[in-house]
């Protein structure tokens, strides 16, 4: 009797009398059914949980590597920050305080007189606030030789405080007409000073008041 005939002849109510091959086949089939049912009914949640944990692991690994790179570069970043602070401090020292502005204006005037220039105009304008510092424009007009005017511009650029010459216009001098080589230089000298704590606080209060009005 072959396997198919054995299956046809078995009594479902008497599994104990089944041939051993039929029993083995039935046991394997039931085992596979249990495994497949467990995979769908119970293990599916575990598979999804495992997948979620694997994704979290990948995210944490990326975060760890990013923090590791930051830690490696921390010393470099600290040094760059220190260099920036030192550079800013050096630039800030080139800006006079409010009490030093009169002395700076005197230095600019003396730079011209020291070159033998004749001042026709030296008029400081109103300060223009610009963040943590203010800009001080000074309208100037001086008369002298080409070399003296050039030396004056060089002297101004080498003052310990920041001073720039802007809108420079050079023309023959009408005052010294007939004097060979005499020129007139008109320009706007600009210097800057930093705001003290009281001025910064007042500026902040004014900005807040302006925002409230809007």
Rounded to two decimals, the pTM is 0.51
pLDDT recorded at residue 39 = 65
Q: Which has the closest alpha carbon to 101: 165, 196, 167?
A: 196
pLDDT recorded at residue 149 = 93
Q: How far apart are CA 111 and CA 140, in angstroms?
A: 12
pLDDT recorded at residue 44 = 65
CA-to-CA separations, 108 to 7, 27, 97, 103, in angstroms, rounded: 117, 107, 16, 9
Write out the residue limits of the CATH 3.30.70.60 domain(s) in the chain: 98-200
pLDDT recorded at residue 21 = 67
Tokens 């210097």 -> residue: 191
pLDDT digits (tens, 9 = 90+) for 191-210: 887 777 777 777 778 777 77
For domain 98-200, the CATH superfamily is Ribosomal protein S6/Translation elongation factor EF1B (3.30.70.60)
Cβ atoms < 10 Å from Cβ of 195: 20
Q: Are strands 182-194 and 163-172 parallel, antiparallel or unpaired?
A: antiparallel
Q: Residue 164: enclosing H or E segment and its boundaries?
A: strand 163-172
pLDDT in tens, the chain (214 residues): 455 566 566 656 666 666 666 667 777 777 777 767 766 666 666 667 778 888 888 888 888 888 877 777 777 777 777 777 666 666 666 666 666 778 888 888 899 999 999 999 999 888 887 777 788 899 999 999 989 999 999 999 888 888 889 999 999 877 655 566 789 999 999 888 777 777 777 777 877 777 777 6
The contacts of residue 130 (CB under 8 Å, 6+ apart) are 192
């Amino acid at each position: 009797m072959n396997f198919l005939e054995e299956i046809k002849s078995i009594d479902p109510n008497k599994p104990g009398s089944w041939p051993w091959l039929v029993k083995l086949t039935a046991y394997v089939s039931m085992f596979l059914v249990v495994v497949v049912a467990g995979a769908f009914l119970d293990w599916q949640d575990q598979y999804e949980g495992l997948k979620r944990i694997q994704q979290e692991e990948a995210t944490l690994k990326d975060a760890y590597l990013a923090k590791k790179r930051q830690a490696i570069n921390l010393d470099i970043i600290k040094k760059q920050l220190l260099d920036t602070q030192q550079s800013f401090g050096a630039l800030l020292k080139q800006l006079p305080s409010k009490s030093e502005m009169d002395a700076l204006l005197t230095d600019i005037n003396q730079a011209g007189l020291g070159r033998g220039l004749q001042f026709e105009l030296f008029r400081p304008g109103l300060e223009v606030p610009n963040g943590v510092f203010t800009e001080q424009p000074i309208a100037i007009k001086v008369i002298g030789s080409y070399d003296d005017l050039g030396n004056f511009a060089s002297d101004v650029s080498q003052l310990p405080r920041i001073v720039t010459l802007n809108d420079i216009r050079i023309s023959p001098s009408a005052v010294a007409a007939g004097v060979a080589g005499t020129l007139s230089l008109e320009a706007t000298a600009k210097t800057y000073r930093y705001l003290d704590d009281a001025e910064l606080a007042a500026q902040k209060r004014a900005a807040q008041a302006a925002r409230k009005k809007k």
